[in-house]
Structure 1
Amino acid sequence: MPELDYLGTERPSLILYLPHRPEGLEQLIGNPDTRELIKNNSNHWRKIVTLLAKVASPGEEWRDFRDRELFRQTALCFAPHLKAFDTWHWIGGKDNLQRFEIPGLDARPLREAPAVAIDYERQILLTPYPDYRQLKNATVSQIRAALVQLGFYSKG
């Protein structure tokens, strides 16, 4: 039986953890499709997957990445615990972070974007909730710059 707390590839480069599920998750589990997720949900979900694509896309073509590759390379998780994958874990929102128990979390704010923090050893990215008002393009650029330095986009 499919896990209703997870949507995406079994070997993601990045998992975005959110506190709520999209409508129609049951139908998407077997065949994750960004366009279907957006079509069956509000504009709010278009913003979420767009921001995920902007952060995770290996190049500048985030729209194509969002529509064709997003769930082949990333995942969404709705459970309040980190998956035991060797991957980057992105927890969006302070309220969402409160759901997690992460002993010894050592997330340090980015100097250029102090609302964003990274635990480099555990590969945990903490940001405001993935919404355009809270996670503006300038902040996304700072996140991408930090991930470039960490070799995120050069991994196989």
Structure 2
Amino acid sequence: MNNIGFGDKDFSFAVYIANKPNMLEYQSLCEVTSLVEGEINVINQACGNGWRKVFNVYAKLLYALDKKHFDYSENTPTWQNYRDKYLLQSQSKTALLFSPPQLMSNIEMPNKKIVHIVCGKGHAKALINSSNLVANLIWLDDEFAIDKENRLIVCPYFDYRQLSNIKIERLAGLLSDLGGIREGIE
């Protein structure tokens, strides 16, 4: 099965979401496609505030991460600038995927540490029920679950109300507990 979505084909940080932007050019995606500078703004203009929130929360999360493990905030001075100039583009190591997670153990890929984040409890449950996600999730509460072995976290949907700044900080802490992407790829 191919990964399908936006971002760097050689990603190490993947966010999984249930829906694609409602734009004709994205409906037949069959692989990971890098966005170009300005494309996030085009999607926001065409698809509205929901997608703006997804991209904003994604960039804010990357900026909330522990700099010892994740280097995203070293590229630009603000999360807004990172969103506009790097997020989901070639060489960004980030992806927003519409396909199910393809979990590979550290044994199969010892030098590639991928972080997997599934947006929304409903999306995670649908993936599990369809057998497209086989994971050993431990639910920490009603909103967050973690599978440390597979470096997988389920969190609220990337929306300001569901994944507030306080919850972004909590998610960043959970990601730090997994260890970053720097180990094993530098």
TM-score between the two structures when normalised by the length of structure 2:
0.68
Aligned to 2:19: 20
Question: Is the deviation greater in 36-45 or in 84-93?
Answer: 84-93
Q: Is structure 2 residue 126 aligned with structure 1 residue 107?
A: no
Q: How many residues are paired up?
A: 150
Aligned to 1:139: 167
Q: Is structure 2 residue 94 aligned with structure 1 residue 74?
A: yes
- Show structure 1 runs of 5+ residues with no match: none
Structure with higher RCO (Cα < 8 A, 6+ apart):
2
Corresponding residue SS for 2:87: helix
- Show structure 2 runs of 5+ residues with no match: 64-71, 105-112
Give the drift of 1:133. Answer: 0.9
- Write the deviation string for residues 101-123 of structure 1: whole angstroms up to 9, x where unpaired: 3334233427xxx6222211101
Q: Is structure 2 residue 113 aligned with structure 1 residue 90?
A: no
Give the 5 Å matches for 1:39-50. 39-50=45-56
Q: 1:84 to 1:94 in 2, by over 3 A?
A: closer
Give the drift of 1:47. Answer: 0.3
Identity of aligned residues (%): 26
Distance 1:154 1:104 in 2: 23
Corresponding residue SS for 2:84: helix
Corresponding residue SS for 2:143: coil
Q: Is structure 2 residue 45 aligned with structure 1 residue 53?
A: no
Q: Is structure 2 residue 40 aligned with structure 1 residue 9?
A: no
Question: Of the candidates 36, 39, 50, which is equivalent to residue 42 of structure 2?
Answer: 36
